[in-house]
């Protein structure tokens, strides 16, 4: 049975109940692990001094991009791009697989809380937008007149909320952003109101969510960050929407680029088993609801990520053995993240490590030619870091958190270099385009095109995005009553 959100009575405005829910529901504490890192740091300090040159080589960062004015600006103003040094406490004591598993699965306590918007889509499906707020903030609703930038965060394709994502929300808040996490249909307690799940690279739901975010926060610029396999959805959205994406700049942390081959080659056995089991557990509650469109027998008998994906989206008949290679290939023709990559019209930063055990071998899984030929794509490639690792030496203050540092517990903790690189990238690209806009205004005035032309420049988005055509349905009427707050 399906239970879509009920709207408000006609003629009266809907009363919404804001329910704050903490990330504690997802994870436990990580303080012991941070303390362990600091002990290892003290024990290894002498050794690091003796092998500083080798450590620097291990933590080398390479910026791969096509030469351009923006690339030169980033090299000049993004100091984080060149100061990556891995934690000596784990680089030789632990394998990269252990580090990656820690980042993906280890419980992490965060005082950041969520306010959830359940957004009803044009086909009556639901996606959830979780707005992150610090625990010390008494006011839970964010004003629609706020000019603070919005950070749209896309988790991995399985909907797993990782410690890396929670830390990213903390850092985003400390930098003045409004973080919002996009949850796909049925993921992270999002109600499933239609017998339809979101395909791997189908940006339809994300497009409607972005329009809603712009409707709710019209004055703030929009940035986007994705992690792991969730980068497939972000790249699909940016490619399909082109200059109408509304996004100023985007970043992908440990992305998976060649997704069809990634599903076909499979992960190492422990990760394959864990992620497959996680998907089955998440979908088990909808066994009856999805039975009409999904062969549940094939789904729950699958022992690989490819098997689950095929059972969900590549069934061509009523039999559990009706999956064909043609259906699988056709599915990826519609969902491969790089299918429309030439249409991407904003700067996109990808942060990858050569030793990433989830993505696979760097030479065959990272499309270096894309970054060398497309001026919108930038790659930070490190020697070490694993999958979403990128831990650097503990610092007393990783960021200028001000009075909020004690709330976040950031002092003395292992910091994530990729987060610093992302926010520095956003700042630098914003500054670069602001300078470009001012130069255009001055050039227009010199040519005698002041007045209306100057005003047009001032009102243009920093990413020079076109406005999205109006929806076929009344977007204002929908968002007046179909937004609600749930647990």
Per-residue pLDDT tens digits for 30-74: 444 455 445 544 444 444 343 434 444 445 899 999 999 999 999
Torsion sign, CA atoms 75, 78, 83, 85: negative
Active site residues: 356, 387
Name the least confident of 222-226, 242-246, 455-459: 455-459
- The torsion region of residue 228 among left (phi > 0), alpha (psi -120 to 50) and beta comes to left
Name the least confident of 29-33, 172-176, 197-201: 29-33
416 strand-pairing partners: 391
Name the least confident of 41-45, 158-162, 365-369, 482-486: 482-486
d(CA 436, CA 442): 10
pLDDT of residue 316: 58
Name the least confident of 271-275, 372-376, 406-410: 406-410
d(CA 258, CA 327): 18
Spatial contact of 140 and 19, defined as CB atoms under 8 Å apart: no
Using the predicted structure, report yes or no on whether residue 99 has a pLDDT greater than 70.
no
Can you read off the two tokens belonging to residue 35? 């303390």
392 strand-pairing partners: 86
Q: For residues 364-374, give the mean pLDDT.
A: 95
Using the predicted structure, report yes or no on whether residue 167 has a pLDDT greater than 80.
yes
Spatial contact of 130 and 183, defined as CB atoms under 8 Å apart: yes
d(CA 417, CA 254): 13
Name the least confident of 65-69, 381-385, 412-416: 412-416
CATH number of the domain at 23-257+339-450+474-484, please? 3.40.50.1820
282 phi, psi to nearest 5 deg: -65, -35
Average pLDDT, the chain: 77
When mean pLDDT is compared over 95-109, 246-260, 304-318, the highest value belongs to 246-260
Using the predicted structure, report yes or no on whether residue 1 has a pLDDT greater than 70.
no
Other C-beta atoms lying within 10 Å of the C-beta of residue 288: 9
pTM score, whole prediction: 0.77
pLDDT of residue 461: 44
Q: Using DSSP, state whether 65 is helix, strand or coil.
A: coil
Torsion sign, CA atoms 101, 277, 290, 3: negative
**CA proximity to 37, closest of 406, 384, 401, 412:** 412
Can you read off the two tokens belonging to residue 357? 């055990």
Name the least confident of 38-42, 43-47, 166-170, 273-277: 43-47
Other C-beta atoms lying within 10 Å of the C-beta of residue 259: 23
Spatial contact of 201 and 341, defined as CB atoms under 8 Å apart: no
pLDDT of residue 89: 53
Name the least confident of 30-39, 300-309, 381-390, 457-466: 457-466
Name the least confident of 149-153, 415-419, 465-469: 465-469
Ranges in the chain annotated CATH 3.40.50.1820: 23-257+339-450+474-484
Spatial contact of 215 and 314, defined as CB atoms under 8 Å apart: no
d(CA 49, CA 408): 31
d(CA 18, CA 6): 16
d(CA 254, CA 62): 15
Spatial contact of 382 and 353, defined as CB atoms under 8 Å apart: yes
d(CA 361, CA 75): 27
Torsion sign, CA atoms 312, 316, 322, 326: negative
d(CA 181, CA 163): 13
Name the least confident of 129-138, 225-234, 294-303, 365-374: 129-138
């Amino acid at each position: 049975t399906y239970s879509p959100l009920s709207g408000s009575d006609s003629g009266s405005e809907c009363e919404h109940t804001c329910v704050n829910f903490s990330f504690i529901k997802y994870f436990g504490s990580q303080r012991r692990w941070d303390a362990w890192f600091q002990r290892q740091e003290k024990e290894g300090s002498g050794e690091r001094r003796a092998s500083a040159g080798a450590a620097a080589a291990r933590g080398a960062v390479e910026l791969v991009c096509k030469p351009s004015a923006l690339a030169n600006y980033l090299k000049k103003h993004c100091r984080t791009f060149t100061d990556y040094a891995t934690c000596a406490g784990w680089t030789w004591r632990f394998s990269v697989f252990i580090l990656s598993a820690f980042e993906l699965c280890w419980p992490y306590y965060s005082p950041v809380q969520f306010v959830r918007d359940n957004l009803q889509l044009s086909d009556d499906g639901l996606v959830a937008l979780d707005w992150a707020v610090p625990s010390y903030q008494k006011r839970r609703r964010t004003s629609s007149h706020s000019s603070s930038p919005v950070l749209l965060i896309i988790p991995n394709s399985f909907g797993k909320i990782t410690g890396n994502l929670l830390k990213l929300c903390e850092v985003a808040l400390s930098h003045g952003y409004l973080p919002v996490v996009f949850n796909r249909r049925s993921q992270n307690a999002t109600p499933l109101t239609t017998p339809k799940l979101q395909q791997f690279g189908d940006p339809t739901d994300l497009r409607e969510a972005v329009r809603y975010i712009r409707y709710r926060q019209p004055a703030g610029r929009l940035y986007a960050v994705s992690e792991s396999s969730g980068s497939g959805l972000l790249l699909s959205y940016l490619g399909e929407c082109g200059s109408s994406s509304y996004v100023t700049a985007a970043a992908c942390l440990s992305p998976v680029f060649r997704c069809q081959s990634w599903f076909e080659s499979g992960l190492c056995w422990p990760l394959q088993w864990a992620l497959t089991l996680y998907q089955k557990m998440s979908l088990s509650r909808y066994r009856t609801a999805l039975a009409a469109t999904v062969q549940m027998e094939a789904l729950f008998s699958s022992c690989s990520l490819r098997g689950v994906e095929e059972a969900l989206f590549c069934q061509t008949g009523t039999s559990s053995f009706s999956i064909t290679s043609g259906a699988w290939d056709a599915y990826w023709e519609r969902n491969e993240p790089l299918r429309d990559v030439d249409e991407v019209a904003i700067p996109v930063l990808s942060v990858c490590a050569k030793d990433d055990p989830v993505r696979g071998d760097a030479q065959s899984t990272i499309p270096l030619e894309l970054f060398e030929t497309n001026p919108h794509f930038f790659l930070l490639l490190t020697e070490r870091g694993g999958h979403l690792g990128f831990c650097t030496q503990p610092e007393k203050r990783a960021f200028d958190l001000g009075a909020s540092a004690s709330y976040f517990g950031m002092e003395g903790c292992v910091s994530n270099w990729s987060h610093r690189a992302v926010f520095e990238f956003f700042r630098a690209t914003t500054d670069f385009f602001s300078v470009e806009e001012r130069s255009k205004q001055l050039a227009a005035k010199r040519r005698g095109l002041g007045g209306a032309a100057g005003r047009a420049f001032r009102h243009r988005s920093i990413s020079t995005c076109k406005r999205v055509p109006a929806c076929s349905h009344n977007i204002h009427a929908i968002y007046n009553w179909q937004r609600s707050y749930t647990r």
